[in-house]
Structures are given as C-alpha cells and as structure tokens.
Structure 1
Amino acid sequence: MIATLSPAKTLDYETPLPDVAATVPRFADEATRLAAAAANLTQKRLRELMHISPALAKLNADRFAAFSDAPERPALFAFAGDVYTGLDAPTLEDPAIDFAQDHVRMLSGLYGLLRPLDAMKPYRLEMGTRWAPRRKALTDWWGDRIATMLSADVEAEGSGAVLNLASQEYWAAVDGRLPASVRVIDVDFHDGGKFVSFYAKKARGMMARWLVEHRIDAIEAMKGFDTGGYRFDATTSDPNRWRFAR
C-alpha cells in the first residue's frame, strides 16, 4: 500500500542527517514555477493568504525570493511538526527508510507529491491556499497531476490501496480524482471517545512509522497497529473508514 501524509509547517534544516541519498522531486519544475510566482506576492498579501504574523510573512517572502539558492534536505528529515514527531524519522533504521521511500508519500502545496527522500527546499504553502498562478486555488492549479502520480505509484507498488493519513485540506488535492480501482482507507484516531487534533496528528505519524518498521504490504494488516495504546475499533469502523481508539 501507499500511505499518504500531510506536510508540516515546522521545518528542521539543522539536525544532522543520516547517511541517505536524496532523490529529485518528480514535480521539481512545478515547485520552481510556483515559488517564482509566489515571490511576486507582497508580505501583506502573504499575511492575508496564510493568516500568519508579519515575521512569518517576511520569512516566507525571503524564502520564495531566494528559492533557487536555498538549501535542500530530504522531506522525511525536513518536516518537523506533530505528525513527524510521531514518525520520529531520525531514529528509523535504513531498511525502514528504504521501505518508506516506496510506501509513503507526502502531499505538498508546493511540490505536489513528495517521496520521503526527495530533496526539498524550505517553504510554506498550504494546499488550501486560495491563490495560484492564473487559478483561484492551489488545488485548481494542480488539477489531476497529483492524483495521476499517486495512482502510478500505487500501480507500481502493486497493492492497489492507499492508506490516507493526510488531513482533509491536503487530501482535497486527490479526493475524487483517483481511479475507481484504487481502494482508499481513511483513518481517524479518537482519544477518550473524541477526536483530539494534537493526538491525532501524532498518531498519524506513529502509524506511518509502524508501517515502515514492520514493512507492511497488505493493508488489512494495518488493523494490527497498536503504538501508544491505540487499537482498531471494529464497532465504529466501516470498510473504507477505520477508527483507532485509546
């Protein structure tokens, strides 16, 4: 199966990297074009679009302006938000990282679809942004391209299944665009009988880690996920939406 994750707003370009060979993002040209267009946005416009502080608007304006010369880092080790705290990539062993390269994908507003070892530059551009070159929103700009790439990855991997651990904002770039032959399992996490965003984000990362550490190929085997006290809840799940609770 292929597991999909959202990216993170928090980035880490300072922690020492393991000895891994970076790959080239398949939508690198598209990312360059988007960054060049975003470089024309004023800091005021960035604040309005992203709902961020003046300091963050300046940081991201500077990032877009210097995008061509920016440092690169494999996505798996660049994202550092709650999901990636749960995934804890720096402690993964080499076989798990190799498995992740074939079985995990990060949806991205700037890069479209990232493999874990794809070298990315620092950025912030959420998929839900109501802006894009000659379009009203990023999802319109990307169109079917992300779904087409993801579908090709699923076909190459061979299971015909996607384990969706991404947020609704990012899954919107794919939702309704995959072939009917691709089975999609949406996953949610409940704590104490309710959804808690912080815990759910971390659990998505923990599930992705469990997948790559155990080298899970068959999607039904993911029901065995038990990290952090979570258990599959058959009574509140259905064939296409699985709930894990603790």
Structure 2
Amino acid sequence: MLIVISPAKSLDFETKPKTKEYTLPELLGESEELVEVLKQMSPDHLSELMGISKDLGELNFQRFQTWQLPFTPENAKQAVLAFSGEVFRGLDASSLPVKTLKLAQKKLRILSGLYGVLKPLDLIQPYRLEMGTKMKYGKSKSLYEFWNPQLSEKVREAVEESGSDVLINLASNEYFKSIDTKILRKEIVTPEFRDMKNGHYKIIAVYAKKRVA
C-alpha cells in the first residue's frame, strides 16, 4: 500500500532535524527548470501568478533567488520535517524513530508543485508553488501538464515497490489531479472524513487534516 498526501504552505527550516538520514528528489532536474523560470519573475509577478500578498511575493522571490543545487543537509531539509501544516504537525515526524521514517520512505509520497513527488526524507529548499498554479513553461500551460506523465509514472513505480497494488489517496483534489490514473492502473481508495454539524455530516477541513495524520 502507498499513501499520497499534499504538501503544506507553512514551512519550518529553523528547527534542526533529528536525523541525518536523507535522500534526494527523483525529479530534481525538472524542479531546476521551473526555478530558472521563476527566478526571472518579479515579486509582483509572483504575487499575481500565485494569488498571494505582496509580502509573500517578496518572500518567495528571495527563496527562488537563493534556490541552488546541489542539495545538502547544510542548505536543505527533509521534506517530512520541513513541512509544518496541520497534517505534518499531526504526523509529528520528528518524534518517529529512524526505522519508522525508513518505512515511510516506501509507504508515503508527498505531491508537490515544485518537486513533483517527494519521499519523506527527500531534501527540499524553501518554496511556495501550488500544483494548481497556471504557470506556463515550454509547451506546458500548467503544472499539471508539466508534470505529466513522469509524476504519474513515479507514483506507479512507488505503489509497486510498496508491495501492494493499492493507492490510498489522502491528497487534496488540487494535488491528486496531477496523477494520471490511466498511467497509474492501480486500485485507488479515497477516504472521506466527515463530522456531524447542524444535523448533517460535512467535511470540515481542519478536522479532516487531523484525521489524515
């Protein structure tokens, strides 16, 4: 069984990682191509492209300017420890033993607008680039077009390497759309976490994210 989740907008690059174990993203060459385009954009252009504030546009402008290869533990951090949104706070990867983190390497993937697909211990540098961003590059009119089919193929391979033909989809619709199910050709299970509110069961995002973790 393989589980896929979305990344988080909030990041923690200040806290020192509790493990020295790391791997590198498999699609880092494609990430570099995107960053080279993003480096040419002004803070205002980034704000407009991503639908974010001017302050966040400036922050991410600086992030892309300083993004560089090669990734090392000195200039990057493991993805599962760097993301700090609700799902990742619930996962609390920093409290997990190395043995469990190594198991997660086989059973968990994080979908990403900049990195395509990440293993938990893959190093990343700070960024913000949501999968739904309508960023044009070459013949691609969006990140969905850019990442297909290589992202889907990597996920398919990861499902097979997990020892099962089942994919558990815990990602948001925005991110799961990046996977071409025709390429995947696996059984997909997409749980829904609903809470009773005013007499009806509804998906309440903050609670649903906690249950994902």
- Normalising by structure 1, what TM-score? 0.80
Distance 1:178 1:27 in 2: 17
Distance 1:98-1:143 versus aligned 2 partners, 3 A rule:
same
Is contact 1:107-1:113 (8 Å) kept? yes
Q: Matches of residues 11-160 of structure 1 in structure 2 within 5 Å?
A: 11-68=11-68, 71-134=75-138, 135-160=140-165
Matched, 1:4 2:4: yes
TM-score w.r.t. the length of structure 2 is: 0.91
Residue in 2 that maps onto 1:216: none
The CA distance in 1 between the partners of 2:36 and 2:195, in whole Å, is 42
* CA distance in structure 1 between the aligned counterparts of 2:177 and 2:184, rounded to whole angstroms: 15
Q: Whole-Å Cα distance in 2 between the matches of residues 49 and 198 of structure 1?
A: 26
Whole-Å separation in 2 of the counterparts to 1:146 and 1:179: 10
Please report how far the alpha carbon of residue 154 of structure 1 lies from its aligned counterpart in structure 2 after TM superposition: 1.1
Q: How many residues align?
A: 204
Q: Tell me how far 1:94 sits from its aligned partner.
A: 2.1
Cα distance between partner residues in 2 of 1:8 and 1:157: 24
Is 2:155–2:184's contact at 8 Å kept on the other side of the alignment?
A: no
Once residues 4 and 112 of structure 1 are traced to their aligned partners in structure 2, the CA distance between those partners, rounded to angstroms, is 12
The equivalent residue for 2:202 is 194
Q: How far apart, CA to CA, are the structure 2 residues paired with 1:121 and 1:65? A: 11
Gaps of 5+ in 2: none
The answer as to whether partners of 1:104 and 1:115 remain within 8 angstroms in 2 is yes
The one of 154, 164, 168 equivalent to 2:169 is 164
CA contact 1:148–1:178 (8 Å) conserved in 2: yes
Please tell me whether the aligned partners of residues 36 and 65 of structure 1 are also in contact (alpha carbons under 8 angstroms).
no
Equivalent residue, structure 2, for 1:203: 211
Provide Cα deviations, 1:8-32, integer angstroms capped at 9, x if missing partner.
0100001121123110110111111
- Asked whether the equivalents of residues 30 and 115 of structure 2 are also in contact (C-alpha less than 8 Å), the reply is yes
Structure 1 Cα separation of the partners of residues 203 and 40 of structure 2: 39
Q: How far, CA to CA, are the matches of 2:46 and 2:18 in structure 1?
A: 34
Structure 1: 5+ residue stretches without partners: 206-246
Percentage of matched positions with identical amino acids: 37
The alignment partner of 1:3 has SS state of strand
CA distance in 1, matches of 2:181, 2:3: 17
Structure 2: how far apart are the matches of 1:160 and 1:140?
A: 25
SS at match of 2:15: coil
Moved over 2 A (4+): 175-180
Q: Which whole-Å CA distance do the structure 1 matches of 2:103 and 2:76 have between them?
A: 22
User: For residues 43-66 of structure 1, what are the alpha-carbon distances to aligned partners after superposition, in whole Å with 9 as ceiling and x for unaligned?
Assistant: 122111211111100000111111
Question: Which deviates further from its counterpart, 73-82 or 42-51?
Answer: 42-51
**Structure 1 residue 175: deviation in Å?**
4.0
Contact 2:47/2:57 (8 A) holds in 1? yes
C-alpha distance in structure 2 between counterparts of 1:38 and 1:85, whole Å: 29
Q: Is the 8 A contact 2:110 2:119 kept in 1?
A: yes
- Contact map agreement 1:144 1:177 (CA 8 A) in 2: no
